[in-house]
Chains A and B, each alone.
Chain A
């Protein structure tokens, strides 16, 4: 029996090649596209799954209160780990890291900057890191030991076992390689290429031992039986006892939430990447549904041609059940053909998709999860797409069908409804693409308060900072540099902050978090910032050691004291005179207004050298000249620079990706919908061929007939607009609420999306309509 069905299916597919192509291509595109998204989703959902103990691993976060609102931070005091390990029995293991460091490693002539961390040795067993070489238990018995990952080992030592060999760090200290671990997967929170004992930097500075200084990241492994809420209770006010009554609270943040739930609002978990995972999953399903709708629509349209077959089969004794089984079976055959084609598509598209989403996703058919997915998607889309045509076809009264060779009408309405759904979704996606793009551009074109273009920065390794004066002179003489300066951070991200500033008239309840940064005297000029009042720093920083420049936001906070010449005091109650007020500029949060900030004229110990290249010089030449100067003054270190505007673009990575994907999905949704529309138009034209013939004989023009045939479809697109516009407005208005600095939605966007959809639909439909209108009426009338 199945053989008999397959024969009719395959022969009828081959007989109607164009139809089959539209049907299968649409479905394959939908499946490929949805599957790529699901690959991405899988990657996001399995973040950190390489760590076996992930269910018991946590990191400690702090909620600090400023201006009555809680802000969440990752850094913790250095002594905390040891203390809580001793006091809280549920803690099985605890390890700290010093965050991420980019250090220069050298072996002979070979020098490479590598990112890694200083960490406590317990980290190895907590993360259960597999070692290729060396011994996990004795890795950190010596202070100057380092474990490196396989990639880094290969770079320095080729394929040989490097254990026992030495690498020089920062041209200063030799470290012995004590182990090589397998590279961490890309979808893991930890990105370190190397680990060295935290003891190398711990206790180096007196403040590192203080309970009031947050600088380590603390990782905790609980015993499996531990009650997390219980441990959190103990941690909540733990710091108050150590740090004279601080209001700062601590809590455990579970590894399983690190990737997807990393956003905190007023101390509470509030979304994060999970929102994008949800959004994209929904989009994937929508695309699948659009593709299925196509399939249903084209199948029911074509079914009118198969009316006779259904009638005959019924007269031959086929029951309803058997016919339903036949048509669903056919749909499943088609959907599996589509699945195979989709797999082919995916192999072709995957590299560019990986490039787009910055991941290394791969399809692995032999993996049970992927195989199950592919099989079930074939079955489910087959069922979904085949069920309506199946029930529709099998319900015909055989005599009526055989007598007229036509089907009872009624499917038309449902078909039109499905087209409306498809186009509504497409229009929503078009509007979404445009508005996301506008919002990103809106923020990108925002006046930052400084000039991010032609601005590069390098980190001040080795003697860079110490030799700044001579470097500066040479840079200025090179003729390619506008200005240069030192600072703690690149200007986009200023991560030093405190609420311990005071001034005359400051209210006890007033404790805004104030950022501060040490800079060299050229900073304001180099960045192209503007002073609202007062003066810039003196070139000689020692003459300026009691002066600060604040921003307008802080001046506003200080109220009456927010003027040049006023006094502001820091933690040690040291007084500074406000020498100048710089106009607000944006850092950290590009969507918000700028936060209060203090600049010190104090270049010692700064980590970043920013160089503003002259506008009209050749960038490549300039970089060569600058590189030569920097290297000459800092021998032994490579010249590695970053462009500030690249960093700036990086900030919008997620939004830009969302925008790009929305664009891709919108195009696909339109494409698939048009495939369906094309098929439907062909079908309508075919069904009305006799009417067209008669009208032509009666004198109708080609243009008139084209209009007649296209009109109904355009009406459907019109209805889709009416449905799509409010939904799109609502969804995007909601999305925009996430951003303080945002566009207002313009009605023009809706008009543009509507017109675009109309034009595309018209182009699709009119092709068929014109073809039908041009056909010779004698042929069509004779055939009837």
Chain B
């Protein structure tokens, strides 16, 4: 599904190149569930952002679903991104001024779905995530776990092929975390969604089919489960 070859990412700090990712290569197939682990500052988020096309690598080749991403223009990249990728954040990042319903609906608006279609899709996912009763509440009225559920629903609403999650359980207690992981597993198994998650928890990492350990911007180890 995607392939990174000799990817580097660095920031110039007083003339010196400060490498965040250093000549990193990685292949991920359709249907995989990859957990990325590593100490803080090892470049996990940076890697995820590059995979998600939110950021560009300084060097290297990036292929995604048959496209050479490193050669695409911003517009094409964003079209590709909209079509394939959903993002889940540690801090949920819901829009405070919108209700649960409206937050979930937002990506559909940007992908030009018709009103009736949007209604059906949102209703469907609310149902699936068991949050129909919360649809008119604002993010501030939800617990952390509920907010993250909304965040995931929003990431999944446009039926992405690839779900990227940067420490999705980082702000949750272990029970809430487990529920989210179960959900991910189900998505991966039943819906065939490819998932890449960053996590600090060994236990959560083991929900995946592969664990990648990052250290200083390089892959230290990769373990198939």
Contact = CB atoms under 8 A, between A and B. Distances in A.
Given A7-B102, A399-B49, A399-B54, A309 B107 contact: no
B105 A317 contact: no
Contact of B97 (A7, A311, A315, A318): A7
Contacts of A398: 54
A315 to B, nearest CB: 5
Interface in A1-45: 1, 4, 7-8, 11-12, 15
By secondary structure, the A interface counts as: helix
Contacts of B210: none
B109 interface: yes
Interface string A318-336: 1100100000000000000
A318 B106 CA distance: 9
Interface string A111-149: 000000000000000000000000000000000000000
B48 to A, nearest CB: 10
Contact of A8 (B78, B94, B97, B105): B97
A312 B91 CA distance: 11
B94 A312 contact: yes
Interface string B78-93: 1001100001010101
Given A7-B102, A315-B54, A317-B82, A1 B93 contact: no
A4 B102 contact: yes
Interface string B96-136: 11100010011101110000000000000000000000000
A319 B109 CA distance: 12
B206 interface: no
A308 B93 contact: yes
B55 interface: yes
Contacts of B102: 4, 7
A282 to B, nearest CB: 40
B47 to A, nearest CB: 12
A398 B102 CA distance: 20
Given A316-B154, A317-B78, A399-B49, A322 B97 contact: no
A-side interface size class: 20 to 34
Interface in A633-691: none
A529 interface: no
Contacts of A12: 97
B95 interface: yes
B78 A319 contact: yes
B97 A11 contact: yes
Interface in A31-90: none
- Most chain B CB neighbours (cut-off 10 Å) among A312, A316, A402: A316
Nearest to A309: B95
A309 B89 contact: no
B110 A309 contact: no
B93 A311 contact: yes
A153 to B, nearest CB: 64
B-side interface size class: 20 to 34
A399 B55 contact: yes
A411 B97 CA distance: 24
A12 to B, nearest CB: 5
Given A4-B102, A402-B89, A317 B95 contact: no
B97 A317 contact: no
Contacts of B49: 399
Interface in A381-437: 398-399, 402
Nearest to A319: B78
Contacts of B97: 7-8, 11-12, 15, 309
Contacts of B106: 4, 313, 316
B110 A322 contact: yes
Given A399-B49, A399-B54, A399-B55, A315 B93 contact: yes
A95 to B, nearest CB: 69
Contacts of A316: 106-107, 110, 154
Contacts of B54: 315, 398-399
A11 B139 CA distance: 13
Interface in A263-317: 308-309, 311-313, 315-317
Interface in B38-91: 49, 54-55, 75, 78, 81-82, 87, 89, 91
Contacts of A4: 98, 102, 105-106, 109
Nearest to A316: B107
Contacts of A402: 89, 91, 93
Contacts of B98: 4, 7-8, 11
Contacts of B110: 313, 316-319, 322
A721 B96 CA distance: 42
A115 to B, nearest CB: 64
A189 B94 CA distance: 66
- Most chain A CB neighbours (cut-off 10 Å) among B55, B87, B96, B105: B96
B16 to A, nearest CB: 21
Nearest to A401: B93
Nearest to A405: B91
Contacts of A308: 93, 95-96
Given A4-B102, A8-B98, A317 B107 contact: yes
Contacts of B91: 402
B156 to A, nearest CB: 12
A312 B78 contact: no
A402 B55 CA distance: 13
Contacts of A311: 93
Contact of B81 (A7, A312, A317): A317
Contacts of A11: 97-98
B95 A312 contact: yes
A405 B110 CA distance: 22
A309 B91 CA distance: 13
Contacts of A1: 109
Interface string B3-17: 000000000000000
A313 B111 CA distance: 12
A8 B95 CA distance: 9
Contacts of B94: 312
Given A309-B95, A322-B110, A315 B87 contact: yes
Contacts of B82: 317
A330 to B, nearest CB: 11
22 contacts: A4-B98, A4-B105, A4-B106, A7-B102, A12-B97, A308-B93, A311-B93, A313-B95, A313-B106, A313-B110, A315-B93, A316-B110, A316-B154, A317-B78, A317-B82, A317-B110, A317-B111, A318-B110, A398-B54, A399-B54, A402-B91, A402-B93
Among all A-B residue pairs, the 9 with the closest Cβ atoms: A317-B110, A317-B82, A11-B97, A316-B107, A8-B97, A312-B93, A1-B109, A318-B110, A12-B97
Given A319-B75, A402-B89, 12 more contacts: A1-B109, A4-B102, A4-B109, A11-B97, A313-B95, A313-B106, A315-B54, A316-B110, A317-B82, A317-B111, A318-B110, A322-B110
Interface of B: 49, 54-55, 75, 78, 81-82, 87, 89, 91, 93-98, 102, 105-107, 109-111, 154
Interface of A: 1, 4, 7-8, 11-12, 15, 308-309, 311-313, 315-319, 322, 398-399, 402
